[in-house]
Each structure stands twice: as structure tokens, then as C-alpha cells.
Structure 1
Amino acid sequence: MALEAACQQREIGVAHPRLPLPEAGGEDRPEVFLDWLGKAIPMVNAMGIQHMQRDGDQLSWSLALDPNLNDKGTGFGGALTAQTTLLGWCWTTLWLRRRGILRDVVVATASQKFLAPVTADYQMICMPAESGAAERLAEQLDQKGRGRIALAQQLWCGDTLCLEASGDYVVLK
């Protein structure tokens, strides 16, 4: 019912209001950002995100497996793919917000490699794919007003790496 209510609040073709920027030099509180994200993208409420944390250049989520089960009782590849794509979008959006920049972010490319079945609650981690990528994005934004960054995501179920993903995220003018 909560997902149904969230979907009814949104109108197709109408952008969801932006979350106000945090104070200068500040960070978004994870619970505030995730609450906004669930309203902006209703399917987020069904993804099982339990916790979000940033550590340096890494953004991580802790997720419950239950809402992401497939018919075999393991993680559903489509749900896991959506989560990796969204985590990269969040990484880019939060990176911009810490710098006081409100811009639209879109995914340009995404790919996944499934390595092992997901059989319990899991953690996803997102980081720049290459050293210096965030600095290059900042330079692109300064010079052109738009930019692109390659990000890498990993899904860990305990000590087992179950999924590697990558995506290119574009910051629009």
C-alpha cells in the first residue's frame, strides 16, 4: 500500500521537486536523502535499502534480500541491476550536492557481471572506476557546464563478491 500511495502522488511527465541543498560544505543526512528518493522514485521504497553510508569516495547501501528474491530464492538479477544503476546515480547526485550544485544526472551506459548467487542480506558499494575521476568531472563542469564520470559498483554477500557493475553517469547543463 505504501508503494501504491507513493506512485499515486507522482504525475507522469512532471519532475519531482528537488531536495534543497544541504548547508554550504555540508552533507545530506542519509535518512533525509533516502526519504526524498523514495518519493521521487517510488520503486525505491520496495528495494529493501536499510542503510546508506559515505566513506571517502565510496557510497554504500546495506540491503535486505527478502524484497529482491527471484523464483529460486536468491537475488533477482533485474532488481540487483536496478540497484547498481541507482546507486551510481545517487553517488553522482550526492557528490554534486556536497559541492552546492543542483543538476540533473542520467545514466548513459551500464553493465553487470554476475559472479555468485545472492543468498542473504547484502551490501553494495559504489566508487569512481579510476583514480582522479571525480577531479576530472569537476574540471569538465567548470569548463563545459556538463560532464561524465565512470563509476564501479560491487555487491557483497558476506565475504563473497556476487556482482560487479559499471556505469557512465552524465551531469547535464
Structure 2
Amino acid sequence: MQVRVDAAGSDSVILSAPLGPNVNHKSTAFGGSISTLGILAAWSLVHLRLLDEGMVCEVVIQSNQMDYDRPITGLFTAASSLPDPAAWPSFIKTLTRRRLARIEACSELIFGETVVGRLRGRFVAFLQEA
């Protein structure tokens, strides 16, 4: 996929990928690549925030919904965020208590200056032994 990290922080992770290795038979970005970039950005956000909390966790995706609004014909980007940042403290409390917790993260897929798709995923974190 040739994914590149453009920015990574506690509020968002931004990843990009060129069209070339992600092209389909219609000369647009392959839907699987678009979805994967969105998942990677959202997963990375959850992972980085857990590291910031000093928590060693395994993070996996449980489910996701992807909406494709427009075709992509060049370099595309996924910018992740938490749809409900206020849910984070409860997520951490549950993770600490039960050693397992779920949280939603989302990504906007961008081509040029336009949002061309949206991903919403549910991620599960499993607290590991330190």
C-alpha cells in the first residue's frame, strides 16, 4: 500500500497512500485499500492514546462501517479522531478494571481538499501484563 505517516498525535493520526499500488480496474483507488487506510489511522489513534496513558495493550478491530462518497484518482489521506472524546476516561476505567474495553474511532478519507469517505470502527483493547 505504501502507507506514509503524515502526522501522529493524541487527537488524530493522519496517514496517506498513493494511487499506484492501490489502483483498481477502473483506475481509481481500490475500496479495500481505502477502508484499510481508514482502519489503520483509527487503530493507530487508539494505540497511541493508550501508550500515552502508559498502558500496554493489544488493540484489535471488532467491527466497522465504511461509506464511499466519491471515487479517488490520486494520493489519498485518512485522518482519524474519536467521535466522542468524552468516552475516553470511561474506556480507560473499564480497561483498568476489566482488562478489556471497547471504544469507537473514526476516519475521514480525503482526496484533494474533499472528504470522499468515512469509516467508523469499534476497537477492543486487551490490557497486557507490563
Asked if these proteins are the same fold (TM beyond 0.5), I'd say yes
Match of 1:21 in 2: none
Q: Which has the higher contact order (CA 8 A, sep 6+)?
A: 2
The within-5 A match list for 1:9-20 is none
Q: Is the 8 A contact 1:96 1:102 kept in 2?
A: yes
Q: Does 1:122 align with 2:76?
A: yes
Q: Is the 8 A contact 1:48 1:66 kept in 2?
A: no
Q: With the length of structure 1 as denominator, give the TM-score of the two structures.
A: 0.68
Q: Is the 8 A contact 1:121 1:157 kept in 2?
A: yes
- 1:131, distance to aligned residue in structure 2 (A): 3.2
Q: With the length of structure 2 as denominator, give the TM-score of the two structures.
A: 0.88
Match of 2:61 in 1: 107
- 1:56, distance to aligned residue in structure 2 (A): 4.3
Q: Which has the higher helix share?
A: 1
Q: Is the 8 A contact 1:48 1:65 kept in 2?
A: no
Identity %: 24
Unaligned runs of 5+ residues in structure 2 are none
Q: Is the 8 A contact 1:89 1:169 kept in 2?
A: yes
Match of 1:3 in 2: none
Cα RMSD of the aligned pairs, angstroms, is 1.5
Q: Which has the higher strand share?
A: 2
- 1:133, distance to aligned residue in structure 2 (A): 2.3
- Aligned counterpart for 1:147 among listed residues 93, 101, 114: 101
Aligned residue pairs total 127
- Aligned counterpart for 2:48 among listed residues 68, 88, 94: 94
Question: What is the alpha-carbon distance in structure 1 between the residues aligned to residue 10 and residue 49 of structure 2?
Answer: 11
1:99–1:56 Cα change, 3 Å:
closer
Unaligned runs of 5+ residues in structure 1 are 1-46
